[in-house]
């Protein structure tokens, strides 16, 4: 009995022993009377945790691209609760702006993980404009939310020094803006004292006429009624802004600042001399706008500077602004300096010397007075632009609020409908009229269907289009003569008759070129003229770079009517005067298309050359030399042959030249007047040959209006000033005393002294 009882107790003991868990987690069932404990939540295995480096890479890539929205979306919920997306973006923008950091690079270094948290270290390098590279190693904390790593944001993710409310501050050092000169060192724009000049009509009294004369002399306007008209209809006691002038300009013009009714306000600013030399080329400065602020802050600008917003002022900003300097600090919430991160010294601005010749430019601007249009003058063997005038002009000084005239005249300038700020030489597209016959003749010759001696009977009318009759320009002249009671018996009113292709260009025979276009079109060569015109540089930018330019348009005709329109520069032909001057220069120099350039030299503050002009050949006209020579000869006949369309305008001018007239129909009553040409004066080796393109909008015939202006520019180039004043120009600007045609010198006097920069 006792034995049985002991056996029972032993069995119970063994059973209990077998049911107790092993200390190391061994198997075995819990006894049924042991209560089940509360189980801990299941945990993710570390091997299944997402890659924290991938999340950090996405965050930093977004930072490199300035994509703050993506960065913010990668923050933890707690971080997003602590800072709004707007404030988050602002902190990054402010820091990059203060550092002047335009770009950054990063490299991930290490990663530490546990089931719900991670740390990723990375090295970041900010490339700054003012204090060089700033490189830091930063430790980022991440937290796992819904199976994805999220960044726990703190300002130390930008720089480790930015703890709490600490922030960055830059002490800027800003150099004075650089100067702009013409090629001879005459100032165009620089920092200067100046006077805003105006009148109060009621106070002028008896000296009104004197004021008109003296202001006209200051502004280079001989027609003093022009000055009088500026204030004649104003309220008697109102102020009427007239112009601005430097002290030297006032002294040179002998303007008496004490005259009754004359109001003068002195100011110091960036001043544009002579009421603006090539204003559409030079451009102007304005304060940095709100949408430009971040870009310029990251280039090292403080943000309150005036920057170039057009023309040379804009394209040469990096030279004219100099190199800003600064010291970057970390400061606390009270503005107390905590540490210095980096520093740099400012460097003086460079000065820009333009290829523009001030005298040539002023004469070009005077010649366009009263007309809308443009003039381009460039050296044929270099692409150097000597003048680029666009009319109407404007006064760049009005963009400066320190100029008292700005508040009176700027709104009027900006409200004008004739677009004075537009550079018509590079930004306006025009139909080219008969000047287009130059590349058209080249296409005809290169087609193999024509030679310079191929003849055609050029009569009043062209009837090769079914149901359409086109009339030569001589027909219109004949009709005008008949209306005036005259006979059609002059060179301008009689049809040209049987002529060669060269004579067709000299006479600008429309029927001959219509015939060429039809002939090419019917021989499956509809694109020949288009391709040649494009090879001449028409319909595409010239690459001038320093001023804005339009492309224009040269398309392939799809019908015979389109072809006949194109060949005389009408239809959808659109070109800029700069493109035209460039291809005329190429014709004159034997076939090389040069890139037009406006920068002669960039000089540092100590007078050293930073960059100098170098000719840039951009292409070659695709025409055989003998065929190009035939075009050159025909263009010379335009000037020298009694039947040439510019013969009477150029009589007495002994400089060897080639040219072409053009009259382009528009949607206005009067056509656009064109004249283009180049010089070939081998005797004047000290004077490089030049090409000139003149366009006068809605003026009339090219031979009557643009050709005299072309002559003005040639005379100015060789003799220093115009020698004649054509009827169509009249006493504009401050004209020079005419010289009889027989008295024009055949050689240009040698300059007595080379101007020094």
Helices first, then strands: H and E counts in the chain: 25, 27
The reply to whether 216 and 262 lie within a common domain is yes
Domain boundary among 354, 388, 405: 354
Give domain status of residue 633, yes or no.
Answer: no
Residue 450 lies in a domain: no
Report pLDDT for 32: 31
Q: Which runs of E-coded beta strand occur in 521-576?
A: none
Exposure string of 573-609, with b = 16+ CB inside 10 Å and e = fewer, is bbbbbbbbbbbbbbbbbeebbbbbbbbbbbbbeeeee
> How many CB atoms sit inside 10 A of residue 251's CB?
10
Give the 3-state secondary structure of residue 630: helix
Range of the domain at 259: 183-276
> What is the pLDDT, as a whole number, of residue 1?
47
Q: Is the peptide bond before 392 cis (omega within 30 degrees of 0)?
A: yes
pLDDT at 192: 93
Domain membership of residue 159 (yes or no) is yes
Which 3-state string (H, E, C) describes 379-423? ECCCCEEEEEEEECCCCHHHHCCCCCCHHHHHHHHHCCCCCCCCC
Q: Does one domain contain both 54 and 158?
A: yes
CA 411/CA 398 separation, integer angstroms: 9
CB neighbour list of residue 686: distance below 8 Å, 6 or more residues apart: 748, 750
Residue 125 shares a structural domain with residue 234: no
In terms of residues, how long is the chain?
757
- Residue 736's pLDDT is 32
76 and 158 belong to one structural domain: yes
Same domain, yes or no: 50 and 157: yes
CA nearest to 198, candidates 409, 414, 410, 399 = 409
* DSSP for residue 197: E
- Taking the C-alpha atoms of residue 704 and residue 672, their distance in angstroms, rounded to an integer, is 11
CB 76 within 8 A of CB 171: no
Of 251, 276, 301, which one is at a domain's C-terminal end? 276
Report the alpha-carbon distance of residue 298 to residue 404 in Å, rounded: 33
Dihedrals phi, psi of 374, to nearest 5 degrees: -155, 155
In a domain, 611, yes or no: no
Q: How far apart are CA 331 and CA 339, in angstroms?
A: 7
Q: Which CATH number does the domain housing residue 254 bear?
A: 3.90.1310.10
pLDDT computed for residue 728 by the predictor? 65
Q: Check: CB of residue 349 under 8 Å from CB of residue 316.
A: no
What torsion do the CA atoms of 474, 476, 482, 488 make, to the nearest 10 degrees? 0
Residues 216 and 260 placed together within one structural domain of the fold: yes
Please identify, among 276, 294, 310, the residue that sits at the C-terminal boundary of a domain: 276
Q: Which residues of the chain have pLDDT under 70?
A: 1-49, 726-757
Q: What pLDDT, on the 0 to 100 scale, is given for residue 3?
A: 45
Please report the DSSP string for 675-721 in residue order. EEEEE--TT-TTS--EEEEEEETT---TTTTHHHHHHHHHHHHHHSS
Mention every residue, 6+ apart, whose C-beta is less than 8 A from residue 477. 488, 492, 493
Beta strand 609-612 pairing with 617-620 = unpaired
According to the model, what pLDDT value does residue 224 have? 79
Specify whether 226 is located in the same domain as 201.
yes
In this prediction, residue 734 carries a pLDDT of: 37
Q: What is the pTM of this model?
A: 0.86
Asked if 315 and 228 sit in the same domain, the reply is no
Q: Is residue 566 part of a domain?
A: no
Residue 529 lies in a domain: no
pLDDT for 11: 52
Q: Is the residue at 562 inside a domain? A: no
145 plus 202 within the same structural domain: no
- Asked if residue 210 is part of any domain, the answer here is yes
Q: Strands 592-594, 617-620: parallel, antiparallel or unpaired by DSSP?
A: antiparallel
Q: How confident is the model at residue 220, as a pLDDT?
A: 85
Rounded to an integer, what distance in angstroms lies between the CA atom of residue 419 and that of residue 424? 9
pLDDT recorded at residue 752: 31
Asked if residue 98 and residue 78 are part of one domain, the reply reads yes
Same domain, 193 and 248: yes
SS3 660: strand
User: The domain spanning residue 103 has which CATH number?
Assistant: 3.10.450.100
For residues 115 and 152, membership in a common domain is answered with yes
Q: What's the domain count of the chain?
A: 3
């Amino acid at each position: 009995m006792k034995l049985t009882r002991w056996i029972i107790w032993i069995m119970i003991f063994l059973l209990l022993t077998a049911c107790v868990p092993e200390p190391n987690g061994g198997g075995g069932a819990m006894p049924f009377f042991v209560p089940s404990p509360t189980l801990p939540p299941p945990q993710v295995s570390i091997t299944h945790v997402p890659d924290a480096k991938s999340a950090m890479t996405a965050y930093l890539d977004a930072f490199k691209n300035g994509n703050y929205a993506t960065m913010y979306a990668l923050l933890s919920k707690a971080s997003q609760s602590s800072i709004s997306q707007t404030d988050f973006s602002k902190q990054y923008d402010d820091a990059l702006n203060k550092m002047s950091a335009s770009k950054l690079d990063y490299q991930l270094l290490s990663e530490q993980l546990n089931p719900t948290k991670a740390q990723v270290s990375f090295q970041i390098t900010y490339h700054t404009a003012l204090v060089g590279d700033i490189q830091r190693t930063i430790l980022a904390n991440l937290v796992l939310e819904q199976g994805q790593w999220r960044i726990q944001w703190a300002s130390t993710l930008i720089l480790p020094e930015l703890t709490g409310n600490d922030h960055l501050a830059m002490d800027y050092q800003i150099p004075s803006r650089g100067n702009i000169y013409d090629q001879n060192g005459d100032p165009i724009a620089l920092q200067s004292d100046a006077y805003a000049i105006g009148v109060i009509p009621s106070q002028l009294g008896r000296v009104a006429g004197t004021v008109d004369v003296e202001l006209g002399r200051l502004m280079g306007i001989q027609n003093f009624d022009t000055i009088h008209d500026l204030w004649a209809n104003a309220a008697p006691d109102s102020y009427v802004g007239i112009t601005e002038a430097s002290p030297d300009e006032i002294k040179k013009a002998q303007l008496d600042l004490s005259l009754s009714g004359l109001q003068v306000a002195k100011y110091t600013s960036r001043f544009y001399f002579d009421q603006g030399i090539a204003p559409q080329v030079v451009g102007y400065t304005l304060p940095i706008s709100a949408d430009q602020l971040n870009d310029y802050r990251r280039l090292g600008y403080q943000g309150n500077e005036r920057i170039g917003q057009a023309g040379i002022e804009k394209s040469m900003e990096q030279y004219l602004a100099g190199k800003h300097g600064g010291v970057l600090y970390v400061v606390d919430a009270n503005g107390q300096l905590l540490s210095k991160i980096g520093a740099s010294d400012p460097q003086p601005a460079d000065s820009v010397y333009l290829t523009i010749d001030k005298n040539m430019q002023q004469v070009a601007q005077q010649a366009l007075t009263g007309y809308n249009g443009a003039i381009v003058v460039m050296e044929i063997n270099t692409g150097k632009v000597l003048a680029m005038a666009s009319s109407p002009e404007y006064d760049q000084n009005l963009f400066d609020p320190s100029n008292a005239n700005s508040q009176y005249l700027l709104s009027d300038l900006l409200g004008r409908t004739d677009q004075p700020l537009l550079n018509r030489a590079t930004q306006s597209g025009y139909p080219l009229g008969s000047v287009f016959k130059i590349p058209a003749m080249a296409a005809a010759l290169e087609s193999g269907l024509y030679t310079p001696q191929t003849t055609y009977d050029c009569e009043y009318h062209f009837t090769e289009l079914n149901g359409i009759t086109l009339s030569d320009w001589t027909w219109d002249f004949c009709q005008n003569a008949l209306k005036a009671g005259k006979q059609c018996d002059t060179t301008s009113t009689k049809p040209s008759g049987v002529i060669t292709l060269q004579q067709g260009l000299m006479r600008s025979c429309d029927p001959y070129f219509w015939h060429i276009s039809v002939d090419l079109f019917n021989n499956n060569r509809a694109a020949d003229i288009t391709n040649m015109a494009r090879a001449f540089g028409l319909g595409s930018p010239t690459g001038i770079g320093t001023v804005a330019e339009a492309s224009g348009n040269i398309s392939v005709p799809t019908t015979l009517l389109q072809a006949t329109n194109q060949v005389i520069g009408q239809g959808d032909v659109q070109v800029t005067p700069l493109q035209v001057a460039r291809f005329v220069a190429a014709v004159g120099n034997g076939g090389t298309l040069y890139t037009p350039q406006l920068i002669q030299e960039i000089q540092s503050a100590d007078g050293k050359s930073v960059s100098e002009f170098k000719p840039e050949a951009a292409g070659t006209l695709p025409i055989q030399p003998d065929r190009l020579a035939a075009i050159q000869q025909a263009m010379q006949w335009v000037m020298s042959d009694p039947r040439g369309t510019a013969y009477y305008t150029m009589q007495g001018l002994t400089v060897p030249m080639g040219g072409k007239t053009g009259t382009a129909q528009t949607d206005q009553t009067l056509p656009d007047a064109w004249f283009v040409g180049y010089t070939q004066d081998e005797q004047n080796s000290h004077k490089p040959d030049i090409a000139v393109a003149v366009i006068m909008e809605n003026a009339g015939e090219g031979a009557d209006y643009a050709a005299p202006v072309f002559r003005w520019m040639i005379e100015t180039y060789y003799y220093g000033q115009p020698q004649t004043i054509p009827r169509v120009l009249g006493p504009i600007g401050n004209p020079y005393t005419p010289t009889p045609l027989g008295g024009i010198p055949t050689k240009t006097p040698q300059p007595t002294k080379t101007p020094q920069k």
